[in-house]
Amino acid sequence: MLIDSPINLLSMDRNAMESYFCDLGEKRFRAKQLLQWIYQRNVIDFAKMTDLSKSLRKKLSDEACLAMPIIVSQQLSADGTCKWLLELKDGNCIETVYIPEKDRGTLCVSSQVGCGLNCTFCATARQGYNRNLDVDEIIAQVWIANNALESIGVGGYFDNRPQDDLETGDFSLTDQRRPVTNVVMMGMGEPLLNFESVVAAMNLMMDDFSFGLSKRRVTLSTAGVVPAIDRLAESCPVSLAVSLHAPNDELRNKLVPINKKYPIEQLLAACLRYVGENKRQRITFEYVMLKGINDSPSHARELAKLLEDVPSKVNLIPFNPFEGVHLERSDSRTIDRFRDILLGQGIFTIMRRTRGEDIDAACGQLAGDFHDRTKRSVHMKQQKVVFS
């Protein structure tokens, strides 16, 4: 019997999908088969899932769907970075970015339509906020990237198994290499303000019958939602990155206003709890370099002092300008000096190379296309933050 609203199976993790098949009167292992077809074979047509019975394929076609966002545009940077503008089921659009390296391919995934925070240096913040993304809208970004990159020959997809294995569905993730090897929840939005959907999607990314990513290859970046950091440690302890950007509360209050609610002392305490007894884990602290604002030698020394007892890695990020913002990027000499001070104090520090700037795909430049329900975009255009 047909139902009015087909169930989007992309919204289900393995446990939910097993329950779904049991409700259909099917064996639980059907969930594993379906996950493999979707995420390891890029097949979203039930009719092509040849190890499922014809009657089950018909039932799935009638009652369920595998609905993906629509690719509105695809831009390829001169440095190989690729950006997609994806239209969601309600007409809003988000952006997703793929960054290729010699030994990995990192996908920057969005978690919200816009962002509810008000970070001064971020293009997404100036666009305002509409809503959280659903699980299917988050996981679909990884599926779309892998599929699109395979089509255009970026990153490569290699599958040398016999045709018999393809027909029977007898395959595993170790048989294949995909363009996306790492995922960072670092796109549009604050992931920890969409906790349930983000955690469900990350667990699906790490499922052996899905993308099979390890915890160290999935990173969540937060501006510092302290209670949710503790929840994440208990439910899904992936790699953690913190958007710090200032060595003291006075400056961070201006750059990252959520600091007023969760100041640096509370944030670092949460980071230490997150690491716990794991001596090998480090928290990545992201620090955008803003000319004349947070880039002086005194700021560097203060940052080194702040992090001296935290297992950490500092990622210095050259500011990426966007329309309507009056901030400037620190020059390379200033960034080098800042890095050298941190290294001299024993703080492991790297400088992130700007990627995708020619297509507005660099860190902090993602904007999407959506209706701002908060009216923050108007406020931000009128606002001028004064740094003394």
Catalytic residues: 95, 363
Rounded-to-integer distance, Cα 183 and Cα 167, Å: 30
SS3 220: strand
Sheet holding 349-351, edge to edge: 70-76, 82-87, 93-100, 105-108, 182-185, 218-222, 239-243, 283-289, 312-318, 349-351
- Burial group, residue 316, by CB count within 10 angstroms (0-12, 13-18, 19+): buried
State the first-to-last Cα distance of the chain, in angstroms, to the nearest integer. 67
Rounded-to-integer distance, Cα 50 and Cα 64, Å: 17
Pairing of strands 283-289, 312-318: parallel
The b-or-e profile of 163-176 (16+ CB within 10 A means b, else e) is eeeeeebebebeee
DSSP for residue 259: G
Contact 17, 38 (CB under 8 A): no
Read off φ and ψ for residue 368, nearest 5 degrees.
70, -160
Question: Helix 297-306 to helix 332-344 angle, to the nearest 10 degrees?
Answer: 30
Q: Could you tell me which of 244, 118, 129, 103 has the C-alpha nearest to residue 182?
A: 103
SS3 385: coil
H helices of 86-181, in order, are: 123-127, 135-152, 163-168
Rounded-to-integer distance, Cα 209 and Cα 18, Å: 13
Please state the separation of Cα 107 from the chain's center in Å. Answer: 7
SS3 100: strand
Q: Could you tell me which of 319, 294, 312, 379 has the C-alpha nearest to residue 350?
A: 312
Contact 35, 210 (CB under 8 A): yes
